[in-house]
Chains A and B, each alone.
Chain A
Amino acid sequence: MKKNKILKKIKLRFTLNGEPVELETLPNKRLLDLLRDDLNLTGTKEGCSIGECGACTVIVNDKAVNSCLMLAGEINGSAIITIEGISQNGNLHPLQENFLKFGAVQCGFCIPGMILSAYALLNKNRRPDEETIKEAIAGNLCRCTGYKQIIEAIKNTKL
């Protein structure tokens, strides 16, 4: 019986990287899949799918969240920022510049999420100390760098 169940499409209005978006999608779609599959924004990565690794981190209403733990419907009326939306006039964001400068990127899979966690932090607190930075990226796992270069890159970013 369940297999034949009719899924009612949901209508969504939200802003994505500053642009207004209106679309219809399936009610059982995760935000992560809406971004990657419907909107082709593949900078947001899928890692663990259960909110532990942070690779899927995006910004919803100024807060870092795991897009694997949200349904698309939940973002109705919200402002979403993904890694594709933080560059300014074709220039890399200062955080992105510093991740390159400090050698904070190796395989790169965790980096979009890592940068967005740092982005949410810096927008709230321009001069975080090291402990605060560690706390802010505690939900983003990186198996390459050992975090040191990542923390340095964030610490040295002036917005």
Chain B
Amino acid sequence: MENISSEYLDEKLETVRNIDFLQYRSKELPTWCPGCGYFGIVDALYRACRELNLKNEDIVTVSGIGCSGRTPVFINSYGFHTLHGRSIPVASGLKLAREDLTVFAVAGDGDALGIGGGHLPHVARKNINITFLLFDNSIYGLTKGQSSSTTPYEMKTNSHPAGNPDTPLNPVRLALSYGASFVARGYAGDPEGLKEIIKKATLHQGFSFVQILTPCVTFDKENRTWKNLKLKVTGLKLCVEGKNMETAMRIAEDEPHGVGIIYQDKDRPHYQEILRTINKAG
């Protein structure tokens, strides 16, 4: 710490003073580990809200359990820290009852693909108009380092010290096959890029799924580390625009670290529109 010059500190303070998105940050001090990727994610979320000019009181952030579960505490919006794996059902009910609100559902990899894995197909196929942010660090962090649904095969974890025997899920491939109308991948180490993705996801009318690659600096020292992510994460190599399932699936298979919008179907009505049409006709 003694190496930091006062010029450097002044410069940093000046940057902070110029930040215009602090209104979306709550007064609570984050409980995440120093260096956690989640700081980058909420940073991107604050910026996206600022640029979308959302009123704080019209935003609700719904989370499950785990390190990502604490996200609503650190956002100056209405927030609901629910149950393990259940941010999707709660956010769905909330959005369907209160169409006027902007609803973010937040979940970790254990939350979204393990215990709550049964909800994802249905929110996607119904196309409920919420923005789903998957904080994917490929490990159970809050319970201290057990294998999750996205932990690589053979990686040593506290629940599998001899190596993970399970094949990991591919979140983007799942979201595509479940019929999500917006699928994207972002990176916690690039808040500016992630902000753009979250903005587009929020503006998308329908269910938007964003996988966010992020490290767990405490319980994963070998796989999804900052060092590895910096080397591997790139923009998408395959060219995509809108509704191209074939390319999107190829990205899901071949570019596990490619970030950007992978698939978007703008024509599909969201759930409330469908209900209105059907009920009018019926």
Same assembly: no
